Amino acid sequence: MIKRLPIIVFILALILVAPPDSAAAQDIPPSGSEPFNGDLLCQPDVYLEQPQDCLPYGPSSTLTDLAQRGITYPLPPLPSLQPPSELAYIPYQYIKLVYHGPVPVYGSLEDAMGDNVRRYVPNGFRYISYNDRRERPEGVFYLAQSGEWLEGSYVSRVSPQNTQGFLFQSTPENAFGWLLDVVETQSTPGLGGQTTGHKLNRLDVVTIFDSQWIEDNEWFLIGVNEWVEKKFIAPVIPNPTPPEGVTNGRWIELNLYNQTLMVYDKGEMIFATITSSGINPFFTRPGLFQIYQKLEKETMSTGNINDYYYLEDVPYTMYFDEARALHGAYWHSQFGYTRSHGCVNLSIADSRWLFDWAQAGEWVYVWDPTGRTPTDPAFYEQYGGGP
The model's confidence at residue 248, banded by pLDDT at 50, 70 and 90, is: very high
Q: What is the pLDDT of residue 18?
A: 43
Write out pLDDT tens, residues 172-189.
989 999 999 999 999 999
Write out pLDDT tens, residues 276-322.
999 999 999 999 999 999 999 999 998 777 789 999 999 999 999 99
175-236, what's its fold?
SH3 type barrels. (2.30.30)
Rg (CA), the chain: 32
Write out pLDDT tens, residues 11-24.
333 333 444 444 44
Q: What is the pLDDT of residue 74?
A: 67
**Residue spans in the chain of domains classed CATH 2.30.30:** 93-158, 175-236
List Cα–Cα distances, 14 to 8, 47, 304, in angstroms: 10, 50, 99
Residue 210, Cβ neighbours under 10 Å: how many? Answer: 14
Residue 34 has pLDDT above 80, yes or no: no
250-381, what's its fold?
L,D-transpeptidase catalytic domain-like (2.40.440)
Q: Which residues contact 178 (CB under 8 A, 6 or more apart)?
A: 203, 204, 205, 233, 234, 274, 336
List Cα–Cα distances, 351 to 19, 158, 316, 330, in angstroms: 81, 18, 6, 11
| Mean pLDDT lowest among 152-156, 223-227, 253-257 | 223-227
CA 277 to centroid of chain Cα atoms: 13
Structural contact between residues 309 and 387, judged by C-beta atoms closer than 8 angstroms: yes
Residue 272 has pLDDT above 90, yes or no: yes
CB-count burial class (<10 Å; 0-12, 13-18, 19+) for 25: exposed
| Mean pLDDT lowest among 63-72, 113-122, 150-159, 233-242 | 63-72
Q: What is the DSSP string of 349-383?
A: HHHHHHHHH--TT-EEEEE-TTS-S---HHHHHTT
Task: Compute the distance between CA of residue 14 and CA of residue 18 in angstroms, rounded to an integer.
Answer: 6
| Mean pLDDT lowest among 51-60, 61-70, 113-122, 242-251 | 61-70
The pTM of the whole model exceeds 0.75: yes
Structural contact between residues 199 and 182, judged by C-beta atoms closer than 8 angstroms: yes
Residue 25 has pLDDT above 50, yes or no: no
93-158, what's its fold?
SH3 type barrels. (2.30.30)
Q: What is the pLDDT of residue 304?
A: 79
Mean pLDDT of the chain: 88
Work out the percent of the chain whose per-residue pLDDT is above 70.
87
The model's confidence at residue 31, banded by pLDDT at 50, 70 and 90, is: low
Mean pLDDT, residues 113-133 taken together: 95
Q: What is the pLDDT of residue 360?
A: 97
Write out pLDDT tens, residues 37-61.
667 888 878 788 888 888 888 777 7
Q: What is the pLDDT of residue 48?
A: 81
**Residue spans in the chain of domains classed CATH 2.40.440.10:** 250-381
The model's confidence at residue 333, banded by pLDDT at 50, 70 and 90, is: very high
Helices (H), the chain: 5-17, 22-26, 59-68, 109-114, 348-357, 377-381
Residue 218 has pLDDT above 50, yes or no: yes
Q: What is the pLDDT of residue 82?
A: 92
Task: Compute the distance between CA of residue 380 and CA of residue 73 in angstroms, rounded to an integer.
Answer: 48
Q: What angle do CA 265, 176, 49 make, to 5 degrees?
A: 100
More confident residue, 6 or 187: 187
| Mean pLDDT lowest among 131-135, 157-161, 179-183 | 157-161
